[in-house]
A and B are shown apart, each in its own frame.
Chain A
Amino acid sequence: MSNRLSLSAILLFLFFSASSAQHNVRTERISGSAGDVLEDNPVGKLKVYVYELPSKYNKKLLQKDPRCLTHMFAAEIFMHRFLLSSPVRTLNPDEADWFYSPIYPTCDLTPTGLPLPFKSPRMMRSAIQLISSNWPYWNKTEGADHFFVVPHDFGACFHYQEEKAIERGILPLLQRATLVQTFGQRNHVCLDQGSITIPPFAPPQKMHAHLIPPDVPRSIFVYFRGLFYDVNNDPEGGYYARGARAAVWENFKNNPLFDISTDHPTTYYEDMQRSIFCLCPLGWAPWSPRLVEAVVFGCIPVIIADDIVLPFADAIPWEEIGVFVAEKDVPEVDTILTSIPTEVILRKQRLLANPSMKQAMLFPQPAQPGDAFHQILNGLARKLPHDASVYLKAGEKVLNWTAGPVGDLKPW
């Protein structure tokens, strides 16, 4: 009997190893401590309490402008919806590890669809005042076990212009909280040490509707569609993208290997799937949805943004997947790309073909295992347990409630 059991166990093991070996030809798992984390299941590792804020902070804003659901900052809204029905949510705040406040600071749009960040600091401040007065949990830690989703250009600095954002710095009230943001740049004022960088929102159904068969040969070497000069905001040139996009255009507009232009083709997604490299240069901010699109469509991202911190950088080994080019090396991008050995390129493509890699970049509705929502929760779970110093003694105050520009102190 025991012999038969061991025999069947051996057979089962051989069967599974054989089937997994077959699978490895097409895709490669990001193995090691980094990649395995992508497939972690956060359920059971943490508990999140969702504050009940009045609808003027969330639902009313969405009702006023439903475009908030489709622009690239929609992650804040979908995170709220995900948490409401997630198994990590707890209705008992005393056992919660993390507290989430459903605010949509990026939902104040201009007629053309760009978010105005001018009122966001006041909205945040008023929400935090509400939380700290109605619940005791804020004051216990001054927000150190709270997290906020701030997907705007420069995160919690709440401005679209980098100089002004640096001037403002992160909102003083959010100094101790964990920020879930799309902006990430090393040694930058607007990136806090403990923040979690997430990918910008890209509509998964739209991308999946444009998939082409994987045996269509990749015939474009380098692909890019977008602005090189922002004539409206930077007519003299040199400010936008720190001159990197303009350098790309000037150096490679005559190069047939580089399919770059400012067109808006309807076949944009299909063309990405026919390309080997996709340029992801910085714009006014270093991040862009191009990274998500490149990963989903299997095109190796060429990231031209000095000191950028990419999404889930502690879980995804971006060095092995993408190519990093310093901004000063932009004139030599063609030399850099053609001198990458083909074996390395094929390996990067195999890593990109991994479905868990693609899933981690997306915010699908409804949520699926391994998607960006789960990666955020994994990131939060990795920060547990909270350090004992996080908890303040009664009456101890760290935050300065009157810091910041005078305009921020006005009620919202």
Chain B
Amino acid sequence: MKLSALHQSYLNRRRSPLDSSVDAPSKSFLAVFWLVLHCLCCLISLLLGFRFSRLVFFFLVSTPSSSNLYSPPFRPDLPPPRIDLTPSNATTAEAKTSSSRVVVGRHGILIRPWPHPDPVEVMKAHRIIERVQREQKAVFGAGAKGSRTVIAVTPTYVRTFQALHLNGVMHSLMLVPYDVVWIVVEAGGVSNETASIVGKSGVRVIHVGFDQRMPNTWEDRGKVEVLMRLRALRVVKEEKLDGVVMFADDSNMHSMEFFDEIQNVKWFGAVSVGILAHSGNAEEMVMSMDKRREMEEEESSSLSSLPVQGPACNATDKLIGWHVFNTLPYAGKSAVYIDDVAAVLPQKLEWCGFVLNSRILWDEAESKPEWVKEFGLLNENEGVESPLSLLNDPSMVEPLGSCGRQVLLWWLRVEARADSKFPPGWVIDPPLEITVAAKRTPWPDVPPEPPTKKKDQMSLSQGNNNVVVIPKHQQQQQQRSSKVRKPKRRSKRNKHEAKPTDTATQVSSSTKHHQERN
């Protein structure tokens, strides 16, 4: 319908200048010309995808000042002619104040030439987000209620499993949302091994050396650990560190709720610790469990059958005693030496289950309660077994974790053999001598060489669970070496040459030594 109106207007327009010279042939010529023009416009519209004729009409009809079009790049649609009225109203000065500057009607959709994110702005936005989140944390999160520093005391010494244990404790401490001071006491003096591990933590570390070497039996080790912890507490006293002292033995595992819970301690608190008495022998574990069940049926339930050490409360949530790990099932079968394949049992009361306010250890007795012994006067040689020795009155201990019902950390002792070796800093230097077959087919090119001289070396590696790699030129020192090597593949042809075949890749320090050995 509209098109016909446009046609009419076109016709009218075209007719007027030509009216003066109208004659019959020009009329028919006009009709043909109009038809051709119309077809052309239709074709162009088909190509462009919008109504081309409207655009032409607009340019012919509209006045130049009427456009409120915001020159959009992709949307050439026109405003309907009615809109031209309002801008003409707004051109007069007083009309501007009474009518809205914001114009009703169709507007162009503004799209910038490159509607994609700008990386600089993205980085700025991420910085804003990070700052907002930090503020949220400070106002609503962990820092809101006046958080206290966590002072972690860890006795450690250099051995194979140290990296395993110490990394675990370190990662837990790094996740703590409060300030952390980590006092690492090392038996045998300060070493680079330990320093390199704890240096990566990012928390404040006080690395203290302890002059004794760690002994070989669990019992003696416990005693030395106590002395090391007391040494750390002396550091707390001397440096006047303020916060909550907890004992993070390096093989323990802590839950994050533990750190939130110990913020509530006033002077001296106790939490429940899960005791994982692991023995290397699975059969033994089963046997001891059966035995334990027998014992439970015989005796009363005074002995706790749960592997938990912690405070025991009565119905009104008052401390009445201690749950202690039941060691009877393991009597006689527990590990004595550090590398025994048997259950490692905890002491009567493990230190890790206790937390204390560092002010207990300070000198001036400002607000210290009277039931706390003076730490400076403690005689270590009297045999301090558990932290309760620091108190005059053990009944004043606060039970934490809903009165010991929540187990917030776990105690575990796992060690390798005492003489096990590991690369210093766990860096393999120089590179290994290992031959690995690159091509694995079910039908090898050559049958693998029967293992003859490799037998004695293989048996060694079975018995112990350690791996030692030392550079080839040290192989002469047999007593210190045990090596794991994969059987090499060689083609029949090159028995005496050490040329690498296409089925084998060799990683070795030098081929010369290779030949030497063969």
Binding site for B on A (CB under 8 A): 25-26, 162-163, 166, 185-189, 213-215, 217-219, 221, 236-239, 242-243, 246-247, 250-257, 276, 306-307, 327-328, 330-332, 334-335, 337-340, 342, 345-346, 349
Contact = CB atoms under 8 A, between A and B. Distances in A.
Given A163-B104, A255-B117, A257-B122, A330 B133 contact: no
Nearest to A228: B109
Contacts of A345: 128, 131-132
A251 B121 CA distance: 15
18 contacts: A26-B139, A214-B136, A217-B136, A217-B137, A218-B133, A238-B108, A242-B102, A251-B110, A251-B112, A254-B115, A256-B122, A276-B128, A307-B101, A331-B115, A345-B128, A345-B131, A345-B132, A346-B131
Given A243-B107, A334-B117, 17 more contacts: A185-B102, A188-B102, A189-B99, A213-B140, A218-B133, A219-B133, A237-B109, A238-B77, A238-B107, A238-B109, A246-B109, A253-B115, A254-B115, A256-B122, A276-B128, A334-B121, A346-B131
Contact of B102 (A247, A254, A307, A346): A307
Nearest to B103: A242
Interface string B67-88: 0001000010100000000000
Contacts of A339: 124
A250 B115 contact: yes
A331 B108 contact: no
Contact of A338 (B108, B124, B131): B124
Contacts of B117: 254-257, 334
B39 interface: no
A246 B77 CA distance: 15
Contacts of B125: 221, 257, 334, 337-338
Contacts of A188: 100, 102
B500 interface: no
Contacts of B101: 187, 306-307
A215 B118 CA distance: 30
B106 interface: yes
A215 B132 contact: no
Nearest to B113: A331
Contacts of B70: 328
A243 B129 contact: no
B100 to A, nearest CB: 5
A255 B132 contact: no
Nearest to A252: B115
Given A213-B140, A238-B77, A332 B112 contact: yes
B58 to A, nearest CB: 15
Contact of A307 (B77, B100, B111, B132): B100
Nearest to B127: A342
Given A25-B139, A247-B110, A276-B129, A187 B100 contact: yes
B70 to A, nearest CB: 7
Interface in B125-169: 125, 127-129, 131-133, 135-137, 139-141
Contacts of B129: 218-219, 221, 276
A9 B428 CA distance: 74
Contacts of A332: 112
Contacts of B107: 238-239, 242-243, 327
B244 to A, nearest CB: 22
Nearest to B134: A217
Contacts of A340: 128
Nearest to A258: B117
B4 interface: no
B97 interface: yes
B328 to A, nearest CB: 47
Nearest to A343: B131
Contacts of A331: 110-112, 115
A325 to B, nearest CB: 12
B456 to A, nearest CB: 60
Interface of B: 70, 75, 77, 97-102, 104-112, 115-118, 121-122, 124-125, 127-129, 131-133, 135-137, 139-141
Contact of A163 (B105, B124, B137): B105
Contacts of B102: 185, 187-188, 242, 306-307
B116 A254 contact: yes
Given A307-B101, A339-B124, A276 B106 contact: no
A342 B108 contact: no
Contacts of B106: 236, 238-239, 243
Contacts of B98: 187
B96 to A, nearest CB: 8
A335 to B, nearest CB: 6
Q: Which of B115, B128, B133, B137 is the most central at the interface, judged by chain A CB atoms within 10 Å of its CB?
A: B128
Q: Which of A188, A328, A338 is the most central at the interface, judged by chain B CB atoms within 10 Å of its CB?
A: A338
A162 B105 CA distance: 9
A199 to B, nearest CB: 21
A253 B116 CA distance: 8
B91 to A, nearest CB: 15
Contacts of B139: 25-26, 214
Contacts of A218: 129, 132-133, 136
A250 B109 contact: yes
A347 to B, nearest CB: 11
Contacts of A213: 140
B260 to A, nearest CB: 13
A338 B128 contact: yes
Q: Which of A26, A186, A337, A346 is the most central at the interface, judged by chain B CB atoms within 10 Å of its CB?
A: A346
A346 to B, nearest CB: 6
Contacts of B100: 185-189, 307
Contacts of A236: 77, 106
Nearest to A342: B131
B110 A330 contact: yes
A349 B109 CA distance: 31
Nearest to A26: B139
A330 B110 CA distance: 8
Contacts of B104: 162-163, 166
Nearest to A163: B104
A338 B117 CA distance: 12
Contact of A276 (B121, B132, B141): B132
A339 B117 CA distance: 14
B87 to A, nearest CB: 14
A301 to B, nearest CB: 16
Contacts of A306: 101-102
Nearest to B144: A215
B116 A237 contact: no
Closest 10 CB pairs of A and B: A215-B140, A331-B112, A238-B106, A338-B124, A243-B107, A217-B133, A215-B141, A243-B109, A214-B140, A246-B109
Q: Which of B101, B104, B127, B131 is the most central at the interface, judged by chain A CB atoms within 10 Å of its CB?
A: B104
